[in-house]
Each structure stands twice: as C-alpha cells, then as structure tokens.
Structure 1
Amino acid sequence: MMSRIDWKNLHACTLAGVIALAGGLLVLPPQTAHAQAVAAARGLPDFTDLVDQVGPSVVNIRTLEKASERPAPGTMDEEMLEFFRRFGVPVPNMPRQQAPQRPRQQEEQPRGVGSGFILTSDGYVMTNHHVVEGADEVIVTLTDKREFKAKIVGSDKRTDVAVVKIDATGLPAVKVGDVNRLRVGEWVMAIGSPFGLDNSVTAGIVSAKQRDTGDYLPFIQTDVAINPGNSGGPLINMRGEVVGINSQIYSRSGGFMGISFAIPMDEAIRVSEQLRATGRVSRGRIGVQIEPVAKDVAESIGLGKPQGALVRGVEAGSPADTAGVEAGDVITRFDGKAVEKVADLPRLVGNTKPGTKSTITVFRRGNTRDLAITIAEVEPDDKPVAKAAERDTGKAKPSAAAQQVGLSVAELTDAQKKELKIKGGVRVVAVAEAAARAGLRENDVILAIANTEIGSVKEFDAVLAKADKTKPVNVLFRRGEWAQYALIRPAR
C-alpha cells in the first residue's frame, strides 16, 4: 500500500528527498533533503579557487604583421586567385593586381589572437609556435590590462612550442605539474582567449594520454572546450598545476567538437629550456626510414606480435649505417626502452642529445642483436634518394622458380651492388599474378625471401623451391633507397 503524500507541501522537498522503499515512498523532512542536495553538490569539482590561483598567470597574445599593398578597386591579388583555385570556384573575369608604381609606407595590421602563460616571474612566456609564426610584432596583455611588446626567444615547429620574453619582473608564474601523475578521467581546466574573449574558462576531463598525432609528441586528449584563440593557453589540473599547452582540436566545422589536444608539459619544458639557452632545438637522428610492422609481416618473420619499427632504408654514412643497421631490421628497443610502435623511435632518438653513445636492439631474420650507435643531429634537408636499381642492366635471366609466383628476376651487376651498398640480391625484371598482387614492381631488388638472404639468382631459386607455396612467402625488397616487406600469397 502506498504511503500518503502531502502534495501541497511537496515543493518544500527536493527530488533527492523522495526515496524509493520496498512497498512505498518515504518523504524526508525538507531540512534533511536540502542537506543531502548540498552534500551531493559538494562532490562536484569547484574551479573557482583554481581560476583565482592560475588566472593571473594567463596572458592574451596578439600578433601583428606588416600589411602588403592592397589591390586597387576592381583588381584581384594572388591570394584571392589561389582561394578560387583551391576550392574549385570559377575565377571572376577581373584583372589581376598590378605592381605598385611607387613604394608606400607599410602599416602593421592585426594578424591573430592566441593565449599563453607566464613561465617565470622575470617575463618568460610560453605559447604555441603557430601563434607567433610569421609575426612582425607580438603584444602580450596581462590580466591587469598592462601591455608589453614581446621578443620571440625561440620557436619550434615540430612540437608547436614557442617562448617569448617581456620586460617585466615580479610576475605570477605558473606551477608546472607532473604529467606522469595525470590520469584518464581526471578533471582539468583551460583558460584562454577563444575568439578573442579574454580569460575564458572551460573545463572537462582527460580523455586519453599518449595520443599519436605528431612525430615527436604524445598528446593529451581532453574534452575541454577549445576554440580558435585558446591556442597556447594552459591545461590545468585540480591542484592548480599546468600539465599541458592547449594546441589542437579535431573539427569538421572549424569549431569545437568535443576532442582537443594538449602538448604535455614535460615535453614542452624540455623544448623551452633549449629555446631559452640557444634559441633553437637540437634533436638526435640515426638516419633510417621506418614504417609500422604489420601483423602478418610480424608472424611471417617470426617476430610474434606487431611491435617495433621496420627499417625500410638506411642512409649511407649515417649513424645507423655505421652501426650495422640493415634494411629489413625491426628496431625493438632504444637505450633499453621498448619501441612498442613505430612512433616511439623518433621520439626516443629525437630527445637524445647529439653525440650520445646509445644502444639499439634489432630483430633480424629470427635473431635479436644489440648494436652500438652514436647519435647525430637532425639535418635541415634530406639527402636525395638514389635510384641505381632503376637503370638498365642488360639482358635478364629469367628464373623458373620465380615464375611460379609471378616473378622474373635477374642478377645485379657488381657496379649496382656497390652503388646500392649491398652484398647480394636479385633484380625484378617482370611481375605477374601473386607477385603483382603483393605490390612488387619491375626494378625492385629482392634482398631476402622466406627469411633467407639472397646473393644470386641461383640462391633465390634454391630457397624459393624449398618454400611452402601454399602459405604466404615473405619477401624483403628494396625500391630505390628504401626497403620493405611484402607477402606473396598463394592463389585461391
């Protein structure tokens, strides 16, 4: 039987005051219900103290650039023409802008708005590279409305981190948090200037860590509302510590869609220290081109599970070349740290100081070995790719065994081996059927088949004759300067 409820006085109770019981409803006194509601409210995060604590350390950044000559009425400049071309819009029948007849004094025009935060009390401010890139002048505005012209100390495109300096002291610097303590599901807050709205506060939770969206950065993913103008602002934990720099969003519309990314502060601090010391970032390199290890490739070469970084090619004279790394090796560890996925290796090597003596572990044809290597510095430009194997080598000698899998191969000349810096291999002169489906092409150089190195057509025939052609046969081949694996699968 239902308990009788005084509906006239029900408004004095909160929803939390009506509790379902076995056999009926119990209405709690108004005072008890209100206390429970307050207790529940206290369990939600309160960001007010954090805003008071960190807010004064967040700055607005405006950038200016010198305005170019504006086109005369009825003319069109190159940027507008490029816009029409890029989006497939018919170009109006208008004359292009003519070069100015006499120089005019250029004026500085607003370029963009971003955010930043005070890193040290003596005026170092951290922001994003893309906020200050290309700016002729940077204006930093504090929460007390003071404005300063800032000097760009250094900026790093790869990590999207920049440091600028303003002439001020006694500034409220942020506290830097430990990213390793950050947990998925933890509440975080952002402060910035979305769409130029200064000191806007948004909040959410950490959605994921170690999110791969760049060569050198494992980003923090959150659902904190980030929009244009938030870039460079801090991501703050519930202890009032900065754990990241808000940098990117995933969007199909240009606005926030529930996914945003922040640069972890441990990475940002490492970059900022180099920028402040030298104005640039020095990164390590070993001179290899790499790709992920596919599951079927890992199984066929005996690696077991898809892990590590598959070496497609080794740059001649590079640290990897000197250390003995070969195309087809799978790098599984660097300085004792596991390379679980291909993106791990550039980060580990890039964060190593050039000149450091390190050790890399490679998996090569069923065996694991350690190689000593000395880290070099990243070069600004890559060397051109050699294409020696694509040159004509004369009359081909077809192989009967190779034709069974759709291949026709020939010997490599001594000159080609020397130029490609390889000891053996055979050149593909024609592909068909299974080999063509595997992606092999004419002029590819086969270095190994079925986990066995090939030195000549005769060796190639012998190994292929013994291979079980009812199962996929792995082939390590070189195309130009780079090598990769392919699986020749039997026809069904």
Structure 2
Amino acid sequence: MKKTLLIRILLGSVMAASLAGAPAMPAFAAPAAAAPLTGLPDFTQLVDRVGPAVVNIRTTERVSRAQRGGLPPGMDDDMAELFRRFFGIPMPSPGPKGGTPKKGQPQPDEEQNSGVGSGFVVSADGYIMTNAHVVDGAESIYVTLTDKREFKAKLIGADKRTDVAVVKVDARDLPTVPIGDSNKLRVGEWVVAIGSPFGLENTVTAGIVSAKGRDTGDYLPFIQTDVAVNPGNSGGPLINMRGEVVGINSMIYSQTGGFMGISFAIPIDEVMRVAEQLKKTGKVVRGRIGVAISEVSKDVADSLNLPRAAGALVRSVEPGSPAEKAGVLPGDIIMKFDGRAVDHATDLPRMVGETKPGVASTLQVLRKGKNQDLKITIAEADTDVQKPAKASQGSADVPHPNALGLVVSDLTDAQRKELKMRGGVVVELAEGPAGRAGLQQGDIILRVGDTDITSAKQFEETVKGLDAKRPVAILVRRGDATQFVPLRPRTPSGK
C-alpha cells in the first residue's frame, strides 16, 4: 500500500528537458467565432498585475570534490557511472589547473545547486517572502525576477515552526504584491498560485479554497485549496481575485510526490506577523506555559458528561513551569485562554505563542466537572526542558482483577517523592476492559471519574460503585504523559 505523505513542496536540483524540432502544425480554415463564455473567471489582468512581483529562488551549497567523487566540472554522477560501466574509463579527480591532485592534497570546494523554490516581493526595497524549507541549509541564495535579472540574496531570518523566511536583495523600485486578509477568505472563493513548479518560472494555476483552518499537525491552521501546486511552488503566493496575497503555498497531500488535488498554504496574517519579527530581530519570540496537551475525544467527552468534545486535555505539566505555578494539573481540560474558546487542542499553542512573554493571562480549566479560572504569567518558548519521570513497579503480589480488569497497588513513599505525587496507585496487571484500552503495568491511576485516588483500597471501593451501563473516565499517567482513558466496567458475568 502506498504511504500517504504531507510533503514540503521543494524539489532538489531540477533538470528541464528542452523540446525542439516539433513538426509544424497543418493549416486549417479559421473556425467560426464562438459565443463568449459567461460566469467563468478571467485571471489575465490579475496575472499581469501581480506576476512581476513573483520570483524564482535558487539555492546552492558548497560540495567538496571528495564528496562528489572527484568528478570534473560539468560531469554528474550518472555520466561518470556511464563512463565507468560501458567504457571502463575511471574518472580521475582533477587537481589545480586540470592536473591530478597528489595524495593528501586538499581538493577545492565548488558551488552546486541544491534546490529551487518561489517567493514574492513585499517591499520595493527588496524584502522577499518565501518558505523556511526553501532556504534551509543554503550556502547561497539567488533570486531571479521575471525580467531575468538575478540577485544574490541575504537571509534575514527563518522560522521553521511556521515555515516562513524573509530574504533581501540589494535593489530598488521592485514590483510588489499587495497583502490581503486571510481571515476574510471564504471557502469556495477562487484563488491563483504563481510559482516555479519543477523550475518552470512564473507558472500560473488556479482553483478554489477547499477549506480553512485545516489542522495538519503543525503549528498553523492551513488554507486548503485544489490549486495545482508541485515541487518548486514552495514559497510562492496564493492570490485572491483582488490581486492580494492571502497565503504562502507550502505543502501538498500526495501519494506520489506530485499534485493530487489537495494543497496547503500558510495564512498571510500569520506570515506577516512572523515576518515583522524576523525583520526586526532575525528570530521569532513566542510565549509558552509548559504543558503537554492532547485532543479531547468524543469518548472522553461522553465519559465526563461534557456537552461536546472541545478543549485541550493537559497530559503533563513541566516542573517549575508557568502552568505548575498557576496550579494547572494533569487531567485538567483547558477550555479558554484569555477569554477565547479553545475548540481544538491545536488552538492553545497558537494562542499562547502569540502572547508576549511576561504577560499575565487567564486560563479557564475544567476540573472534576467545574470551571476554574487560573492566573498565569507567560514565559518565553524553548527555555526549560522537561525531564521525564519514571513510573516504578509496585508489589508482585497480584490479586484478582476488578471490574475494570485492573490490579493496582499503593505507591511507596520513595515512588511518591520521585514522581512528586500525593495520591495515585500503580497498575500491576491490566486485562479485560483496561487491557483492551491499552493500559499496562507501571501506569499510574490518578482519578476515576471525579474521584481522586489516594490508595489501592479506596480505588477498589470506587470501582465497586461504578455503573456497568456507563463508561467512566480514568485519569492515567505514563511517564510524564497524562490522559483520560474511557473504560466500561465489566458486568458480574465478566463480559
């Protein structure tokens, strides 16, 4: 089965084959004038206006002759292999002035193309937007305009988290493209992409917005379109019918490596917010609160009697982090940040990341069926590193599993101190409902429904009082990760 991938649409060195010698087309009588089409968009004026501001970006890297196998200039590995296989001619490593270098003599480096991409000019004095992955690892960056002028560009800054980069060329009075508002973009709206797919400069493709706020597991909610986007389109603009940039083309959804009808663009609002910081300081500063989170599934929402699956489930809290100082606990569900609803877990990192470090904010958390407001001071991202704690095993004396399929034991004083926990019990055996749900020996159970677990005896009494007709949410800690696991107790018959 072919593996489906989200692919950063950057191609390495691209070699285009030229077409020549095509036979002349036969002459035909001119057809009768066709009736004009109505209701279809005309992109010609838009492309004429915006096209000159779209650029081709070529990157290079330094490669030593030793890395290339000592090949002469202009000869690639495939050509050298042809000589070796079919003619028996080894290709020596050329030394200075074409001679063969002596043993141990250093070999000079040479510049080699490493990739192609696209970009667009946002200011007449030479600032250009593109993707971070287009310029990642580049020794040199070259920008080619539609009038064939080429400039060597300077990297101002790149942010891998959003895949946004800013480069600058030494030029004046460059054509620019106006910046739009991606928040006003509507699903079904016509959009155009201009870029250099497979190195073919200023290629225009069109389509519609298929979806907004598409979560692909990255930091941003992407714009999804059906505009044909291919390797080399990376960094090029997504343009609305008013000729405004509303996004940067960044990824495709593909089983083959080529376009399959789904492409993703970074919303221009986030792009420009990042670009401003890159232009000022060369880096992006983000806020953090120090929690690991996951989505609230429908099963968890049902087991907690929530009206809908929403919020960010706190799986772990970093020691010494703003979240720990604010009183956030594993198992809390963060419902709002500074009054803004957290509909999906991925909303929270974006909201916190946009907040400046040092700002006092408010978290609304759902804990045991009740909402609580916690005051929290935002810290700067990428400062503290969380050290994982180990869940130790308890007693080997294992009794009969209970209605959840669990056998547990009390944590020792040493375990409580190591894990910095006041309550909880450690799993010795998991079978039946617990086993099917993935619980295993060494997991720590912190809560059953809204009841905090303090001892193995109390846990057993709590399980005995559960309704076998309804699932219950078990708060489980494994290492430093904490999550709710919905379990349905077995009936007395054992089913």
Judge same fold: TM > 0.5, yes or no.
yes
Partner of residue 463, structure 2: 464
Task: Tell me the alpha carbon deviations over residues 7-63 of structure 1, each in whole angstroms, 9 at most, x when there is no partner.
Answer: xxxxx999xxxxxxxxxxxxxxxxxxx7xx33xx24321111111111111111111
- The C-alpha deviation readout for 1:261-289, integer Å capped at 9, x for no partner, is 11110010011011111111111111111
Letter in structure 2 aligned against 1:62? R
Letter in 2 for 1:294: S
Q: In the alignment, residue 131 of structure 2 is paired with which amino acid?
A: N
Which residue, out of 242, 261, 274, partners 2:277? Answer: 274
For 1:255 and 1:149, the matched residues in 2 are separated by 29
Pairing partner for 2:255 from 252, 256, 259: 252
Residue number in structure 2 paired with 1:112: 115
Cα deviation, residue 183, structure 1: 0.8
Matches within 5 A, 1:170-185: 170-185=173-188
Structure 1 partner of 2:347: 344
Contact 2:228/2:259, CA 8 A, preserved across alignment: yes
Gaps of 5+ in 1: 1-11, 15-33, 74-78, 81-96
> 1:163-202 alignment to 2 at 5 Å?
163-202=166-205
The residue aligned with 1:133 is 136
Counterpart residue number, 2:63: 67
Q: 1:186 to 1:405 in 2, by over 3 A?
A: closer
Q: Residue 396 of structure 1 contacts residue 411 of structure 1 at CA under 8 Å; is this kept in 2?
A: no
Q: Helix, strand or coil for the counterpart of 1:103?
A: coil
Q: How far apart, CA to CA, are the structure 1 residues paired with 2:104 and 2:349? A: 51
1:46 aligns with 2:42: yes
Partner AA of 1:461 in structure 2: E
Contact 1:224/1:258 (8 A) holds in 2: yes
Aligned partner (choices 209, 228, 232) of residue 231 of structure 2: 228
Amino acid at match of 1:469: A
For 1:381 and 1:232, the matched residues in 2 are separated by: 32
SS of the residue corresponding to residue 403 of structure 1 reads coil
Q: Distance in 2 between matches of 1:112 and 1:413?
A: 57
Superposition pairs of residues 30-429 of structure 1, within 5 angstroms: 37-38=35-36, 41-68=37-64, 69=66, 70-71=68-69, 101-379=104-382, 382-387=385-390, 389-390=391-392, 392-393=393-394, 395=395, 403-429=402-428
Verify the 8 A CA contact 2:222 2:264 in the aligned structure 1.
Answer: yes
Counterpart residue identity of residue 414, structure 2:
A
Q: Deviations over 1:410-449 (max 9, x none)?
A: 1112332232222211111222223222222111111111
Q: So what's the TM-score if we normalise by structure 2?
A: 0.83
Over the aligned positions, Cα root-mean-square deviation in angstroms equals 2.3
Does the 8 A contact of 2:405 with 2:435 survive in 1?
A: yes
- Secondary structure in 1 matching 2:261: coil
Q: How far apart, CA to CA, are the structure 1 residues paired with 2:146 and 2:429?
A: 70
Q: Secondary structure at the match of 2:254?
A: coil
Higher Cα radius of gyration: 1
Provide the rounded CA distance (Å) in 2 between the counterparts of 1:307 and 1:297: 10
**Cα distance, 1:111 vs. partner?**
1.2
Indicate if the aligned counterparts of 1:334 and 1:359 stay in contact, CA closer than 8 A: yes
Post-superposition, which runs of at least 4 consecutive aligned residues in structure 1 deviate over 4 A?
Answer: 396-400
Letter in 2 for 1:163: V
Distance 1:470 1:320, change over 3 A: same
What's 1:431 paired with?
A: 430
Q: How high is the TM-score relative to the length of structure 1?
A: 0.83
User: CA 1:317 to 1:152, structure 2 compared with 1: closer, same or farther past 3 Å?
Assistant: same
Once the two structures are superposed, what CA deviation does each residue of 1:93-148 show, in whole Å capped at 9, x if it has no partner?
xxxx9xx8332110101111111000111111000111111110001111122111
Unaligned runs of 5+ in 2: 1-30, 72-76, 79-92, 94-102
- How many positions carry a matched residue from both structures? 432
Q: Percent identity?
A: 60
